[in-house]
Chain A
Amino acid sequence: MVREKTGGGRLTVETYTIIVLLLAATIRVATPLVLAALAGMFSERSGVVALGLEGMILGAAFASAAVAAVTGSAWLGLGAGIATAVALALLLGFATVTHRGNQVVAAMAVNIMVAGLGPTLGMAWFNLGGQTPQLDQPAQRFLGLMGPWAATAREHPLPGLLYAELLSGHNLIVYLAAVLVPLSAWVLYRTRFGLRLRAVGENPLAVDTAGISVNALRYQAVVICGALCGVAGTYLSTAASAGFTRDMTAGKGYLALAALIFGKWKPFPTLGACLLFAFTDALASRLQGVALPIVGVIPVQFILALPYVLTVLLLAGFVGKATAPAAIGVPYSKEN
């Protein structure tokens, strides 16, 4: 963004390329955030706090990498990732919906459990210090898909590079995430399920008196949440990198939750928030080791902390008026 102003409108090809690459990196970083934030949206709109995103994504990342490594199929990995995250979601649902446990405590328990369980199982199965084996076969990973003529288009910088780097060249999950945003909006605002989902997060008693099962709705929401987290986790370990490493989510689940709140629990604003967070992240990576005027080289730690600092600032300063689903975090029982 800073660079666009240099040269008073005369963009050199070089800065143009940097910007395009920065935006392409933004899209790649944003993908798991978008998936996780949408997952959180379904959960929170139903009234279940989505603090367990982190654990579900991490669990899915481990499961998909492990299965992809053993079977050699990224698709089986994806299936395992989704299955794992959905299983964790059902566990959370059982604790918080069926037994009305405290949602924050249950979610944190899952997060902590998964953080330990992944590396432990990895150690037992692969003996690689808690990681999964390197995924070095193309079939084990979701790799970038080159659009037609992408290679030739690259030679014509202005529209060509945009097409080659921004639109084409991403893996399947990136496009899936892009499609899921409008799809989620459509489900939320245009379908019966969406109406009921929004209602149950606002006033579960109203839903119950309307003759709809509150628990069934919340389970459906939690399962969708798990499935999306499964895709997000798979992306991290089989698309963005080639295998599972300890704590590889690095707080992305919480960041997604922050984006969801910043996006006021609405699909498109949440997408915007995810892109903003991803952009700072991409920018931070690019700024590493780069000497800036006046301040010089910024320490890596500081740059890496940037997205999180931004999160705190945004949440503290700008979303004071965000209204959460009214019934969020409150276990439902008829007696109250």
Chain B
Amino acid sequence: MPSPATEPTAPAAPPSALELRGIDKRFGAVHANRAISFSVARGSIHGLIGENGAGKSTLMNIVYGFHRAEAGEILVRGRRVDIHSPQDAIAAGIGMVHQHFMLVESFTVLENVVLGVERGALLAGSLDHARDELAKLTRDYGLDVPLDTVVSELPVGVQQRVEILKALYRGAEILILDEPTAVLTPQEAGALFKMLGRLRAEGKAVILVTHKLREIMAVTDRVTVMRQGAIVGEVATCNTSPRELAEKMVGRAVLLRVEKTPAHPGAPLLAVRDLEVLDRLGVARVKGVSFDLRAGEIVGVAGVSGNGQSELLEALAGIRAPSRGSITLGGHDLVRERLGPDERRELGLAHVPEDRLRMGVVTGFTAEENAILGYHNRAGYQRGPLLNQAAIRAECEKKMIAHDVRPAVPLLRISAFSGGNQQKLVLAREIDCDPRVLLVGQPTRGVDIGAIEFIHKKLVALRDAGKALMIVSVELDEILGLADRILVMNAGEIVGEVARADATEEKLGLMMAGVREASA
């Protein structure tokens, strides 16, 4: 609870590093920010937490000059500033590390750092100057980065350091990080937090935007919670708990842990042997992977994004042809028989794709059209050569009610639904035909906490009904919460397999970084 009495009283507080007063912003009908006021002290790490769509990113984009607020003012070190563009924000000492890095992949680190803050029309001088400055910065903050390497060749953790260096090189006193750990292993995240601590010690103000409660609890000094565009609470981190923050975010009590009984795995339903998948350039993305999916268990595939999980999932679902290996389901070798997604569906293999908006739904279609995608040829949806509209609508309504999709309006465009409701509808579609094996990519990406709870319960219920589930997720918490058995992927290989009971975050983190089980 935000109770000022419990905080240490500061004598004649110096001006905050950043203060927002009454920031208001609408996008059409959406009131993205409602009269937001909050301030961040120098030498502190301030958490900004909220569900997807709560308005955190909008607020930070306003601070960074990407969007213009309709009302309100921004004060930096007590002085009012007009921020119309990122240039103004940079001049005011505000730096931002975006969730999707703003780096030119084909440039070297050095070129990326000087871009936009060159000294003079010729490059040579700018690059030399930056090299000297960066040497100092890397020393001061322990941000070791190879300056002359092309960015695309660097691991994401290092790319993130480049982003931070960029901000510091521009003289940032206020550093905003938007979901910085989404692409990191737990160890990399640890290193990042240590570095943020060093920035705090230097007197910088750090704003950490995230939806991960654990991170907020671990590193922030204060935390501000947003819901539906408004601030619903601000507390000193030491005076709150994850449960309290989650309740504030969602507006009701939520279950943070998945409740489930021990698994009773049955016969293997899907067997993968020596599977290799190449990408368009002929590079192996999945390198000779073998595993089984058994009835009545959830197998979690953990790994940092981009280590072959997506390709594996697509190969299993029949979207991408493997170059080698076999996938056996119900006596059929899916690879040798070249069975496509449709035929695999007939054999009882359903797939909830990772990228919902690209592969899961057609955004221009209505909910009812999306609810039959891939199943539209089923007898129940046909009337002669035409689609049976009435049956489709009734079926969609039924699914929407059963899966708590809100609003339960089949004729509404799918893009009008929240991520969570879209995902619930996709899941409803895929499990409707009672598949034996269910593949789920990023079950709760872009999904609000309330819907996460529902989806997790549903997946566990499917397991208990004897289905074989495979879940690919970059959220380690989700893997740890759902899976009975965990496969860890790194650079296209399964570097380890751990039973849930033996899995710890540290162990998985090391494997995600490529350290083999034996040496872990």
Contacts and interface: CB of A to CB of B under 8 A. Distances in A.
Interface in A190-221: 190-196, 198-199, 202-203, 205-212
Nearest to B101: A206
Nearest to A327: B104
Closest 6 CB pairs of A and B: A210-B116, A211-B87, A206-B102, A192-B118, A209-B102, A211-B86
A198 B105 CA distance: 11
B105 A202 contact: yes
Contacts of B87: 211-212
Contacts of B106: 198, 202, 326
B124 A190 contact: yes
Interface stretch (B107-115, B197-205, B324-332, B449-457): B107-115
Contact of A191 (B105, B112, B114, B121): B121
B103 A192 contact: no
Contacts of A192: 118, 120-123, 126
B231 interface: no
Contacts of B126: 192
A238 B146 CA distance: 53
Interface of B: 64, 66-67, 85-87, 89-90, 96, 98, 102-107, 111-112, 114-118, 120-124, 126, 166, 281
A334 interface: yes
Given A192-B122, A206-B115, A209-B98, 5 more contacts: A190-B124, A191-B123, A203-B103, A207-B116, A210-B102
Interface size class of A (residues with CB under 8 A): 20 to 34
Contact of B104 (A193, A194, A206): A206
Interface string A290-328: 000000000000000000000000000000010000100
B104 A208 contact: no
A205 to B, nearest CB: 6
A334 B104 contact: no
Chain A interface SS verdict (over half) = helix
16 contacts: A191-B121, A191-B122, A192-B120, A192-B122, A195-B107, A195-B123, A199-B104, A199-B115, A206-B103, A208-B86, A209-B86, A209-B96, A209-B102, A210-B86, A211-B86, A212-B115
A113 B120 CA distance: 41
Given A205-B102, A206-B102, A209-B86, A198 B123 contact: no
A166 B117 CA distance: 45
A209 B96 CA distance: 9
Nearest to A212: B116
B104 A202 contact: yes
Interface string A65-80: 0000000000000000
Interface of A: 189-196, 198-199, 202-203, 205-212, 321, 326, 334
B130 to A, nearest CB: 12
A203 B98 CA distance: 14
A191 B120 CA distance: 9
B115 A196 contact: yes
A207 B104 CA distance: 8
Contacts of B115: 195-196, 199, 206-207, 210, 212
A150 to B, nearest CB: 38
A99 B12 CA distance: 52
A199 B86 contact: no
A111 to B, nearest CB: 30
A198 B121 contact: no
A211 B86 CA distance: 5
B166 to A, nearest CB: 8
B123 A194 contact: yes
Contacts of B111: 195
A326 B106 CA distance: 9
A122 B96 CA distance: 56
A202 to B, nearest CB: 5
A202 B115 CA distance: 13
Most buried by B among A199, A211, A334: A211
Contacts of B67: 334
Contact of A211 (B90, B98, B121): B90
Nearest to B100: A205
Contact of B105 (A194, A203, A211): A203
A202 B106 CA distance: 8
Contacts of A193: 121
B120 A198 contact: no
Contact of B64 (A189, A205, A209): A209
Contacts of A203: 102-105
A182 to B, nearest CB: 16
Nearest to B120: A192
Contacts of A211: 85-87, 89-90, 116-117
Contacts of B90: 211
Q: Which of A194, A203, A205 has the most CB of B within 10 A?
A: A203
A167 B72 CA distance: 67
Given A203-B103, A206-B102, A209-B64, A195 B86 contact: no
Nearest to B127: A195
B494 to A, nearest CB: 30
